[in-house]
């Protein structure tokens, strides 16, 4: 059972080492991918996307810009793959490493990463992780709290036994969530699957202690921060 998780990023020696991946809407739409926003869709028969690697600083070229873990630029056109925060670009080496562990539902899709300045092309993968925060939770033992959206002031707690399933969880609180503009957030989420790597909301991927220890050795440039937004327990058996 896993109960301690971490976020991770790849550090850089200088800001000049940073770059982001970018794809235009036209390139994306013509690629054959069926979805860029639906959490649980496996893309069928996509072509190999060619994605630009754009240096953070204009005109700066660094070998370290071809990193193991690369995010999409956040300010490109809304209807592109880049707006889905569950998508990352990962190196062949990082993909191989991650596949040693138990990953939550996901897809790896080959892409060509082309440096915007040098035109050098390398093989990478688009890593799409499904948002399972509410889909696979064991509701009878999980805990939640309702807070004000603006100030995060606690309104009410929902302990074990409050909800039996996802439908009850969503339906019972519909008025409070959507009409009163409050925020329902998890306190403890239990999963029966013993995931080592999983999504923790729409913009985070977390890894277990076991993965962190192995990654520290395999990828010394990674930085880790303990995930404390709420507690995650995987591999739970009642």
Domain map (residue ranges) of the chain? 13-130, 139-191
**Cβ neighbourhood burial of 219 (10 Å; 0-12, 13-18, 19+):** middle
Output the pLDDT for position 142.
Answer: 95
pTM of the model: 0.82
CB-based burial, 52-78: b 16+ in 10 Å, e otherwise: bbbbeeeeeebeebbbbbbbbbeebee
Grade residue 79 by pLDDT with cuts at 50, 70 and 90.
very low
Q: What is the pLDDT of residues 148-189, one digit of tens each?
A: 888 888 988 999 999 998 888 877 666 666 556 788 889 999
């Amino acid at each position: 059972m896993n109960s301690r998780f971490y976020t991770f990023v790849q550090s850089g020696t200088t800001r000049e080492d940073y770059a982001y991946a970018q794809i235009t809407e036209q390139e994306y739409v013509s690629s054959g991918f069926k979805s860029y926003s639906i959490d649980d869709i496996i893309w069928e028969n996509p072509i190999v996307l060619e994605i630009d690697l754009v240096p953070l600083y204009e005109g700066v070229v660094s070998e370290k810009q071809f990193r193991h873990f690369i995010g999409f630029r956040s300010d490109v056109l809304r209807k592109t793959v880049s707006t889905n925060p569950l998508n990352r670009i990962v190196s062949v080496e990082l993909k191989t490493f991650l596949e040693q562990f138990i990953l939550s539902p996901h897809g790896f899709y080959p892409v060509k990463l082309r440096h915007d300045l040098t035109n050098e092309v390398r093989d990478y993968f688009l890593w799409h992780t499904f948002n399972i925060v509410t889909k696979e939770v064991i509701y009878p033992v999980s805990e939640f709290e309702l807070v004000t959206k603006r100030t995060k002031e606690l309104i009410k707690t929902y302990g074990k036994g409050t909800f039996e399933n996802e439908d009850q969880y969503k339906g019972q609180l519909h008025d409070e969530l959507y009409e009163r503009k409050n925020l329902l957030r998890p306190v403890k989420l239990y999963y029966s699957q013993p995931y080592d790597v999983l999504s923790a909301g729409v913009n985070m991927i977390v890894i277990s202690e076991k993965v962190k220890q192995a990654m520290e050795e395999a990828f010394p440039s990674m930085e880790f921060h303990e995930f404390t937004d709420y507690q995650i327990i995987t591999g739970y058996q009642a």
